[in-house]
């Protein structure tokens, strides 16, 4: 079972900002072994962040268009600005600059919310901090230094004199949803290594990430290790497999109804799986707290609650004698609840298929749409409550208030679903009732629903324009779910029931840690043996591929594409092709107008040099140094040039 560090403090008003900052952090880190202090003093990290904040405030002193900051060759974020930012930490603390830039982005976002009169200015500065972090990541060529020091080493800052929980740039970007940083090549390469298990947390020091020692080991048995179940890719495979099995059990249970009401094997396994998922959700919620609550958590909790109700009804039914009407009614109600969950079972698959790009991008769109829907439902509830009170007021003299209330609620919901029913409102203090319902229908169907459509359209356009970065952010978030809170012993639901009832309760409280860890390894080896056989084969195959790439001097994950198969036979410099390309390629760093102005400036400079040389020859060097040349100016120079040209160069002769 996961052991966690208490990441969220709740002891007083002073920690409120810290709670807000970590609200999006999915899971905290291990609790059994407290994280060691960060490698750099939090005060020094905070000073570096303050230097960077001061720099950005000076670089962007007024409101600018965001495009001027984000475009490829920005005139604002020049190479000199990036070099200055890189030196903010000096030689010793240079690695924390990217992390500090993400902290500065968070500060500017907070300042934007606090100072609404300068919100646009602070938003642009936040974008600039994120773009600077991205450019520094992409400019780093040493991948080992980038991974271990820049992206994966954990740092802390000071809030109210207290150091924040250590975090690295990877986690910070996910928590802040910094899609620009997440979309950088170095960041994605690091996420890819974490996803594959090529970079893992050190067993002795969980704050450090190290390269997988058997990455190039082609021995099959070296990869047949239960600890490899910590790899996010393999955990995701198990979750997808368990989800399909869960769906299969539900399909079998709903299609094989037992008239007697007895539980068969399929239904028993279905409820055992449900218990495992419930325990997993409850454990995470207990460790993380209210910040663990999200749309998918609530969705799964609703599904598990309905299945629990179905199971409880079945157990109550079994308490009645066979053949009794009460037992039959409870069994029927239990199956009704079970059948009611069918759409949720299929929709639940989307939660585990988000690693595929199609489903991932679609889930991002749905997530944003659901968030935008809150505005519509807030307005709708206020409008419906007002009109509902009005209809009841019109019919207050009627004795059948309960029946009228049900009629009004159903008619109002039909109007929301674009199927209004006007019959019956003539009885509500005519003509006020029917007029009021017409007004309600107009407000809901013409105004509110069109607002909802506009919100959905805006959300869809915003996401689809940046769909690739949003998908990469979702994928990074999913990877960090496994990495930032690794299980000491990986028991994915429903296997967590085996851990709880067969390992923790009978053994953990008295057995030595080393012996208990070995026992867990043996149990995991048995449970995951089918998957471990496959993963060991795949890792052996990848090790051969990595070894071949290193032999050729390529990157570990490099794959030879079809256009690269004959590339080694081409020598563009020898055949002159590269020279032709360099001579004909356009300069994309500057606009055409800027290039022409630069060319004109060079020509004017050459002309000035010629004028000075010619005037010096005609008038003498002492004239250039005195005030006479300044008074004569360009007119005298022009006259002498005219004389020189008319004489045909005779004086030179």
Q: Are 418 and 306 members of one domain?
A: no
Can you read off the two tokens belonging to residue 364? 């991002």
> pLDDT confidence of 566, banded at 50, 70, 90?
confident
Would you say residue 552 lies in a domain? Answer: no
Q: What is the dihedral of CA 411, 343, 493, 485, to 10 degrees?
A: -60
> pLDDT confidence of 487, banded at 50, 70, 90?
low
Helix axis angle, 97-114 relative to 79-86, nearest 10°? Answer: 100
Q: Residue 549 pLDDT more than 90?
A: no
Q: Region 621-650: what's the mean pLDDT?
A: 46
Would you say residue 146 lies in a domain? Answer: yes
The span from the CA of 305 to the CA of 338, in Å, is 11
Q: Are 241 and 387 members of one domain?
A: no
Q: Are 467 and 445 members of one domain?
A: yes
H, E, C per residue of 554-609:
CCCCCCCCHHHCCHHHCCCCCCCHHHHHHHHCCCCCCCHHHHHHHHHHHHHHHHHH
Which one has a higher pLDDT value, 24 or 269?
Answer: 269
End position of a domain, from candidates 303, 331, 353: 353
Q: State residue 493 phi and psi, 5-degree precision.
A: -55, 135
Residue located via tokens 């325990």: 279
The span from the CA of 626 to the CA of 636, in Å, is 15
Can you read off the two tokens belonging to residue 392? 């009841």
The span from the CA of 182 to the CA of 466, in Å, is 12
pLDDT at residue 193 in the model: 93
The DSSP output letter for 158 is E
Q: Are 263 and 394 members of one domain?
A: no
Q: Region 114-142: what's the mean pLDDT?
A: 92
Distances (CA, A) of 209 to 125, 204, 274, 483, 488: 32, 11, 35, 10, 15
The span from the CA of 511 to the CA of 524, in Å, is 18
pLDDT at residue 471 in the model: 86
Q: Are 36 and 171 members of one domain?
A: yes
Give the DSSP H or E segment for 21.
helix 16-21
- What is the Cα gyration radius of the chain? 35
Q: Residue 642 pLDDT more than 60?
A: no
Would you say residue 642 lies in a domain? Answer: yes
Q: Are 25 and 156 members of one domain?
A: yes
Q: Are 235 and 311 members of one domain?
A: yes
Q: Region 481-505: what's the mean pLDDT?
A: 83
pLDDT at residue 400 in the model: 53
Q: Region 117-136: what's the mean pLDDT?
A: 93
Q: State residue 146 phi and psi, 5-degree precision.
A: -65, -45
Please name which of 160, 190, 218, 196 lies closest in space to residue 18, comparing C-alpha atoms: 160
pLDDT at residue 620 in the model: 57
Q: Residue 245 belongs to what domain range? A: 230-353
Q: Return mean pLDDT, the chain.
A: 81
Q: Residue 24 pLDDT more than 60?
A: no
Q: Region 116-130: what's the mean pLDDT?
A: 92
Q: Are 100 and 238 members of one domain?
A: no
Beta strands in 170-266 (DSSP E): 199-201, 209-211
pTM for this entry: 0.78
Would you say residue 18 lies in a domain? Answer: yes
Q: Residue 4 pLDDT more than 80?
A: no
Q: Are 135 and 234 members of one domain?
A: no
Q: Are 140 and 285 members of one domain?
A: no
Peptide bond into 58 cis (omega under 30): no
Count of domains for the chain: 4
Q: Which residues of 415-441 are buried (b: 16+ CB within 10 A; e: fewer)?
A: bbeeebeeeebeebbeeebbebbeebb
End position of a domain, from candidates 325, 353, 381: 353
Which one has a higher pLDDT value, 546 or 206?
Answer: 546
Kindly report the length of the chain.
653
End position of a domain, from candidates 457, 479, 501: 479
Residue pLDDT, tens place only, 447-479: 888 888 888 888 788 777 777 888 888 899 888
Residue pLDDT, tens place only, 59-93: 999 888 888 888 888 888 889 999 999 999 888 88
Q: Residue 647 pLDDT more than 70?
A: no
Residue pLDDT, tens place only, 394-444: 776 555 555 677 888 888 888 888 888 888 777 777 788 888 888 989 998
DSSP 356-411: SHHHHHHHHHHHHHHHHHHHHHHHHHHHHHHHHHHHHHHTTT-S-HHHHHHHHHHH
Min mean pLDDT across 6-15, 225-234, 463-472, 611-620 is at 6-15
Would you say residue 605 lies in a domain? Answer: yes
Would you say residue 513 lies in a domain? Answer: no
Min mean pLDDT across 242-256, 444-458, 511-525, 572-586 is at 572-586
Would you say residue 475 lies in a domain? Answer: yes
Q: Region 361-383: what's the mean pLDDT?
A: 83
The span from the CA of 302 to the CA of 340, in Å, is 11
Would you say residue 561 lies in a domain? Answer: no
Q: Are 362 and 457 members of one domain?
A: yes
Please name which of 49, 172, 21, 13 lies closest in space to residue 110, comparing C-alpha atoms: 21
The span from the CA of 115 to the CA of 382, in Å, is 30
Please name which of 25, 33, 24, 26 lies closest in space to residue 4, comparing C-alpha atoms: 33
Q: Are 382 and 344 members of one domain?
A: no
């Amino acid at each position: 079972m996961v052991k966690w560090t208490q990441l969220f403090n709740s002891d007083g008003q002073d920690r409120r900002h810290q709670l807000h900052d970590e609200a999006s952090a999915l899971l905290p880190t291990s609790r059994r072994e407290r994280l060691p202090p960060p490698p750099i003093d939090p005060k020094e990290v905070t000073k570096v962040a303050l230097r960077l904040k001061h720099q950005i405030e000076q670089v962007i002193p007024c409101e600018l268009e965001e495009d001027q900051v984000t475009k490829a060759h920005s005139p604002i974020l020049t190479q000199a600005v990036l070099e200055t930012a890189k030196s903010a930490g000096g030689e010793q603390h240079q690695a924390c600059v990217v992390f500090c830039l993400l902290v500065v982005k968070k500060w500017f976002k907070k300042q934007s919310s606090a100072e609404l009169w300068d919100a646009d200015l602070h938003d642009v500065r936040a974008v600039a901090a994120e773009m600077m972090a991205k450019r520094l990541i992409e400019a780093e060529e040493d991948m080992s230094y980038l991974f271990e020091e820049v992206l994966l080493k954990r740092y802390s800052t000071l809030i109210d004199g207290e150091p924040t929980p250590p975090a690295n740039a990877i986690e910070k970007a996910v928590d802040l949803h910094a899609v620009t940083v997440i979309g950088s090549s170095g960041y994605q390469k690091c996420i890819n290594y974490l996803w594959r298990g090529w970079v893992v947390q050190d067993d002795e020091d969980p704050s450090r990430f190290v390269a997988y020692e058997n990455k190039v080991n082609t021995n099959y048995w070296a990869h047949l290790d239960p600890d490899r179940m910590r790899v996010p890719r393999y955990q995701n495979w198990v979750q997808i497999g368990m989800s399909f099995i869960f769906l299969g059990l539900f399909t079998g249970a709903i299609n094989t109804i037992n008239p007697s009401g007895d539980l068969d094997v399929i239904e028993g396994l279905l409820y055992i799986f449900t218990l495992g998922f419930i325990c997993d959700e409850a454990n995470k919620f207990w460790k993380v707290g209210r910040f663990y609550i999200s749309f998918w958590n609530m969705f799964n909790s609703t599904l598990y609650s309905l299945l629990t109700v179905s199971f409880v009804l079945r157990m109550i039914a079994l308490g009645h004698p066979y053949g009794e009407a009460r037992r039959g009614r409870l069994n029927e109600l239990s199956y009704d609840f079970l059948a009611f969950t069918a759409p949720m079972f299929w929709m639940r698959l989307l939660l585990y298929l988000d690693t595929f790009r199609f489903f991932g991008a679609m889930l991002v769109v749905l997530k944003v749409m659901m968030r935008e829907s809150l505005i519509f439902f807030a307005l709708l509830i206020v409008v419906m409550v007002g009109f509902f009170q009005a209809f009841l007021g019109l019919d207050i003299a009627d004795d059948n208030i309960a029946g009228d209330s049900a009629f009004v609620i159903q008619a109002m919901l039909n109007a929301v679903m674009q199927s209004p029913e006007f019959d019956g409102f003539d009885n509500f203090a005519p003509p006020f009732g029917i007029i009021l319902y017409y007004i309600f229908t107009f407000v809901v169907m013409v105004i509110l629903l069109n607002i909802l459509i506009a919100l959905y359209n805006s959300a869809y356009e915003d996401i689809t324009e940046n769909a690739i970065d949003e998908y990469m952010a979702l994928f990074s978030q999913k990877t960090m779910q496994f990495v930032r809170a690794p299980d000491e012993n990986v028991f994915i639901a429903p296997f967590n029931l085996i851990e709880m009832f067969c390992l923790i309760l009978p053994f953990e409280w008295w057995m030595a840690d080393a012996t208990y860890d070995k026992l867990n390894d043996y149990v995991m080896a048995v449970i995951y043996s089918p998957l471990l056989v496959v993963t060991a084969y795949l890792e052996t195959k990848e090790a051969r591929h990595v070894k071949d790439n290193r032999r050729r001097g390529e990157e570990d994950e490099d794959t030879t594409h079809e256009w690269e198969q004959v590339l080694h036979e081409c020598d563009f410099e020898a055949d002159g092709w590269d020279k032709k390309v360099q001579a004909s390629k356009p300069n994309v760093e500057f606009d055409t107008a800027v290039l022409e102005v630069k060319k004109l400036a060079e020509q004017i400079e050459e002309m000035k040099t010629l004028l000075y040389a010619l005037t010096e020859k005609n008038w003498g060097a002492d004239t250039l140094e005195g005030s006479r040349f300044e008074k004569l100016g360009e007119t005298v120079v022009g006259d002498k040039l005219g004389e020189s040209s008319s004489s045909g160069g005779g004086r030179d002769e």
